[in-house]
Amino acid sequence: MDARDPLPRAFYRRDALRLARALLGKVLVHRTPDGLAAARLVEVEAYRGPRDRAAHSAGGRRTPRNEVMWGPPGHLYVYFVYGMHWCANVVAADAGVPEAVLLRAAEPLEGLDLMRARRGRRGPDAELLRGPANLCRALGIGRAHNGADLTAGSLFLADAPAPPRHRQRRSARIGVDYAGADARRPWRLYLAGSPAVSGPPALRG
């Protein structure tokens, strides 16, 4: 498979934790009229369905907002938070199983000028996609991309070598203190030492 081809549907058809592991190192590509932007995923979080109190699908709540989580795998679930930010998830597992992987950070690869412009040229390049909302901003992802099919179209994930195991780390997920015991489950995965990883220093090495 060419590195520029979208990963196939079968890649996404597994539970969110396994998909999260597989996503580390993969390349998210977005072609728009303004140009192409691409970045390598270095931080993700698994949200594991109705029994996961931290997930938007907790308790089996199915609403217009999280509807995409119930759909087939390989689509993007994009939601709006805090009155100003967009965040993007990759839908995992079979239709009817509402699991997803939040994309928290990535290292810029292509389209640096475009991403700087979208971000307002703030900070070092390595931090252009540091944090879930910044990632969406730099890649031009927003409301229009909710439900987008990542296996066909201008927004897709391309294959890339898996990062070495000795750089892979796990931690509790960030920003889910409301979720009780589930808040402490180690379902955040990241690459140690990447300057693009978000969170406090203790959660980046």
Instruction: Kindly state the smallest distance separating residue 181's Cβ from DNA, in Å.
Output: 15
Nearer CB in complex with DNA: 124/161: 124
CA atoms within 13 A on the CB side of 200: 6
Q: Which is nearer to DNA, 166 or 178 (CB)?
A: 178
Residue with smaller CB distance to DNA, 137 or 169: 137
Quote the least distance from Cβ 104 to DNA, whole Å: 7
Quick one: DSSP state of residue 85? E
**What's the closest the beta carbon of residue 165 comes to DNA, in angstroms?**
25
Contact residues: DNA, CB under 7 A: 45, 47, 54-57, 61, 63-66, 69, 77, 80-85, 87, 89, 100, 102, 119, 122-123, 130-135, 174-176, 178, 198
Q: What is the dihedral of CA 94, 97, 102, 107, to 10 degrees?
A: -10
Task: Yes or no: say if 103 and 89 are a contact pair by the CB < 8 Å rule.
Answer: yes
Residues 6+ apart with CB under 8 A from 120: none
- Number of H helices and E strands in the chain, helices first, is 4, 8
Q: Minimum Å distance from CB 161 to DNA?
A: 26
The residue (of 5 and 205) whose beta carbon lies closer to DNA is 205
Query: Cβ contacts of residue 24 below 8 Å, gap of 6+?
Result: 41, 42, 44, 162, 163, 168, 189, 190, 191
**Residue written as tokens 């475009």?**
114
Name the minimum Å distance from CB 23 to DNA: 13
Taking the complex as a whole, the smallest distance from the CB of residue 53 to DNA amounts, in Å, to: 10
Distances (CA, A) of 182 to 58, 63, 86, 98, 197: 11, 21, 23, 16, 22
Residue number, 72 or 159, with CB nearest to DNA: 72
Angle among Cα 162, 167, 173 to the nearest 5 degrees reads 95
* Beta carbon nearer to DNA, 79 or 159: 79
